[in-house]
Amino acid sequence: MNFADNIPIYVQIVNKIKESIINNTLKEGQKLPSVREYCQIFQVTSLTMQRAIKELEGEEIITTVKGVGSFLKEGTQKQLKYTVSKTLLKEFINNMEKIGFSKEEILNKIKEEIESD
Amino acid sequence: MNFADNIPIYVQIVNKIKESIINNTLKEGQKLPSVREYCQIFQVTSLTMQRAIKELEGEEIITTVKGVGSFLKEGTQKQLKYTVSKTLLKEFINNMEKIGFSKEEILNKIKEEIESD
Amino acid sequence: MNFADNIPIYVQIVNKIKESIINNTLKEGQKLPSVREYCQIFQVTSLTMQRAIKELEGEEIITTVKGVGSFLKEGTQKQLKYTVSKTLLKEFINNMEKIGFSKEEILNKIKEEIESD
Amino acid sequence: MNFADNIPIYVQIVNKIKESIINNTLKEGQKLPSVREYCQIFQVTSLTMQRAIKELEGEEIITTVKGVGSFLKEGTQKQLKYTVSKTLLKEFINNMEKIGFSKEEILNKIKEEIESD
DNA sequence: GTGGTCTAGACCACG
DNA sequence: GTGGTCTAGACCACC
């Protein structure tokens, strides 16, 4: 975790977990590591970790069963990948247009950037 | 200004001013509106506005002369457009790769998105 | 604090804190007093204190973690002492030369002054 | 003049004039350039220049005769050189001691600095 | 008129 | 508890 910047730590954790889901590191229906284990992994207090979990519950990505653990819902992976990529795309195009690039120019810029690597 | 979300108002203002520079609404070498005028425009107190101004000074985008006003530095517009777009591009590609898209797929997604409008 | 002269209070505070670092009153890696404590110590409002803190962050002397506190970076003490003394020396010699003293004369003046105490 | 920093312009001008006196560029008893000429030289408005003049009058360095001009007082050069250098010396030693140098160390540092040029 | 600094008190999100 | 942001209004020095 990046403790020095402005993004709340619990949000950073939420994002990391979402990444794991999209990458298929965490598989659908599977039980997630316990809060205690996650605290170790991310080096945070349980309170912070709980918030991250709550957030994921709120977004209907996981369900928590008291005394048992949290589970990934079925069908999340594909949907998450879709919504996240859609958001990234829209935001990116929107921002590029705000600073004066046409759609064509955006496409060219992307091509350049990708080929330059 | 968006008083509801988490981005500090003074950062929002900084971004708006940067946009104005990139759009050429504010021209190089030109005097910016006074702090008091900006307070009216953005509906904030002078202190908040000053923070935004200080930030832009720190980024070497403007220079301020006490009792006279703030001025856009020469050569900012082009450079700002370049660095901002570069950052957007890199971040976007990076994020898309993190969630499992190959460079080719990214390009295709962008094409789709742009053509769909 | 000296509320009477022209040096902004937050700059005076920055200098005092720098002095504490150089004297080793504040040790490297250590947590600084909280903003609220500093407000008591220096008898200023939190905003003024925050400005001082931001300044020190900008100079890469401390790092701040939201909700936790500010910490002295490692390696600051020695470097700060070096740069500050170097600046004082250069400025002093420069000013003395401006008003017509040769390097030799400067040395003699210093000797006199020191021995006279 | 440095219009961008925090030292008031009129103070900067006062210092420059003092330097000229100490260097003997302006000689004792001599008539100073007119306000109008000085405005040209320093590229400032007459109001700012007037303030600088007032300051020098206040410090008893010059006298102004209405409708005629300003004149350097007799005996200023030597005295000015003395007081200015004394101030510089004391301040310098004071500052160096504040950051933990002994008188001996100060002397050594000065020697080093001078010989290194 | 300009920018710069400050207070006193408030509210917020985060750990 | 921590740091971060903001207001409303004030005062100042300077051009």
pLDDT tens digit string along B75-104? Answer: 999 999 999 999 899 989 998 998 889 999
Parallel/antiparallel/unpaired status of strands C62-65 and C69-72: antiparallel
Considering all nucleic acid strands, name the nucleotide whose C1' atom is nearest to the C-alpha of residue B57.
Answer: E3
Q: Do B64 and D3 touch (CB under 8 A)?
A: no
Cα separation, C29 vs D111, in Å, equals 34
D99 has a chain C CB within 8 A of its CB:
yes
Minimum-distance residue to F3 (CA–C1'): C66
pLDDT tens digit string along D1-50? Answer: 677 667 888 999 999 999 899 888 888 888 999 998 999 899 899 999 99
User: How big is the A-C interface in CB pairs under 8 Å?
Assistant: 6
Residues from chain B that touch D6, judged by Cβ atoms under 8 A, are 66
The CA angle A116-B81-B68, to the nearest 5 degrees, is: 150
Residues from chain C that touch D89, judged by Cβ atoms under 8 A, are 109-110, 113
Q: Confidence class of residue C5 from pLDDT cuts 50, 70 and 90? A: low
Task: Give CA B32 to chain center in angstroms.
Answer: 15
Residue that the structure tokens 């930030």 belong to: B55
Considering all nucleic acid strands, name the nucleotide whose C1' atom is nearest to the C-alpha of residue C67.
Answer: F2
Secondary structure element (H or E) that encloses residue C69, with its range: strand C69-72
Cα separation, A102 vs C95, in Å, equals 56
Minimum-distance residue to F2 (CA–C1'): C67
Residue that the structure tokens 């002093």 belong to: C92
Q: Nearest to residue C66, comparing CAs of A7, A14, B58?
A: A7
Cβ neighbours of residue A93 closer than 8 Å, sequence gap 6 or more: A103, A106, B110, B113, B114
The pair of three-digit structure tokens given for residue D63, joined into one six-digit string: 């006298």
pLDDT tens digit string along B36-58? Answer: 999 999 999 999 999 999 999 99
Cα separation, A100 vs B22, in Å, equals 7
- Model-level pTM? 0.83
Task: Give CA A103 to chain center in angstroms.
Answer: 27
Strand F CB shell (< 7 Å): A 6; B 8-11, 43-48, 51, 66-68; C 6, 32, 34-37, 46-47, 50, 53-54, 64-70; D 3, 8-11, 44-45, 47-48, 51
Q: Which amino acid is at C2?
A: N
Confidence check: pLDDT of A71 > 50: yes
3-state secondary structure of C44: coil
The pair of three-digit structure tokens given for residue B33, joined into one six-digit string: 């509106």
The pair of three-digit structure tokens given for residue B86, joined into one six-digit string: 């570069």
Q: Do C114 and D100 touch (CB under 8 A)?
A: no
